[in-house]
Amino acid sequence: MNGATVLLLIIVGAALFYATRLMQRRRRRAALMQTPLDERHRAIITRRIPLYQKVPLYLRGRLDGLINRFLDEIQFVGRDGFEVSEDARVVIAAQACLLIMGQSHRWFPTLKSVILYPAAFKSKAKKFDGYIQHDGTPVHTGESWMRGPVVLAWDHAAFGALVDDDGRNLVLHEFAHQLDEATGVADGAPLLGEDQNAAGWGRVFQESYDRLRRDVETGRPTVFDAYGASAPAEFFAVAVETFFEKPRDMHAEEPQVYKEMTHYFGFDPAKW
């Protein structure tokens, strides 16, 4: 065998190896999507995520499959002494998958891991999802890194899951950032399906964002948390929390944004 033949054999061998791995991964994913939720996982979700019970049956099968896939593919890492429990993994996975259960192609394409702190944490990240302590120190409850992990304070993530009608949900908020950031820009415009008009989305969201900024300035209460007025990316993340937790109020107050979101997510929580 000459050098060219050896090189060709190496290339063909490598291509076969990667093709086989890709096929195995696809098969594994397809099997996970068809597998019913583990009964222990279902018990955790029933106890900790009341929103799950409201999800209509026609979406449940896909949601359960996505939770299986998330638990299989996404790594969980504890920080500051936090030992990642089964409860924590399932509570994060189930809420994240609520965001993607309505569209068959949707996933968190750049996400590899979730980092969990026991409670609010100090961070060097510039993007700030948290609050200012009484001593003036900013502490984070969550972060979403572009092409990187989602970072969460477990106590806030668990509380957000348990109270599903206050319009605040840390996990939905941070994973909404992941969907937005998957385009490579955190600007409040996620990757839309082919049948949704990006210009229409942009106009509706810009008008609503401007309206929220004016309302926050004048002190007029709105369905959206005032934090949404801090940047277009935050407006999208806050609108996602509101969409799931106050759908009927949002539909009444911001019907156009609500309509764009039902199209984007592929379901209508106001009907649940």
Whole-number CA gyration radius for the chain:
21
State which residue, 234 or 260, has the beta carbon closest to Zn ion: 234
Question: Are 227 and 237 in contact, with CB atoms under 8 Å apart?
Answer: no
Among all residues, whose Cβ is closest to Zn ion?
129
From residue 110, how far is each of 134, 173, 175 by CA, in Å?
Answer: 36, 17, 12
Strand 113-117 to 129-132 pairing? unpaired
Work out how close the CB of 225 gets to Zn ion at its nearest, in angstroms, rounded to a whole number: 11
Give the residue, chosen from 115, 237, 240, 261, that forms a contact with Zn ion under the rule CB under 5 A.
237
State which residue, 65 or 228, has the beta carbon closest to Zn ion: 228
Work out how close the CB of 123 gets to Zn ion at its nearest, in angstroms, rounded to a whole number: 13
Site map (CB under 5 A) of Zn ion, residues 126-165, x = contact = ---x------------------------------------
State which residue, 44 or 223, has the beta carbon closest to Zn ion: 223
State which residue, 65 or 188, has the beta carbon closest to Zn ion: 188
Instruction: Pick the closest to residue 156 from 137, 123, 188, 131 (CA basis).
Output: 131
State which residue, 37 or 114, has the beta carbon closest to Zn ion: 114
Residues in the interface with Zn ion (CB under 5 A) total 3
* Rounded Cα gap, residues 19 and 16, in angstroms: 5
Residues engaged in binding Zn ion (CB under 5 A)? 129, 234, 237
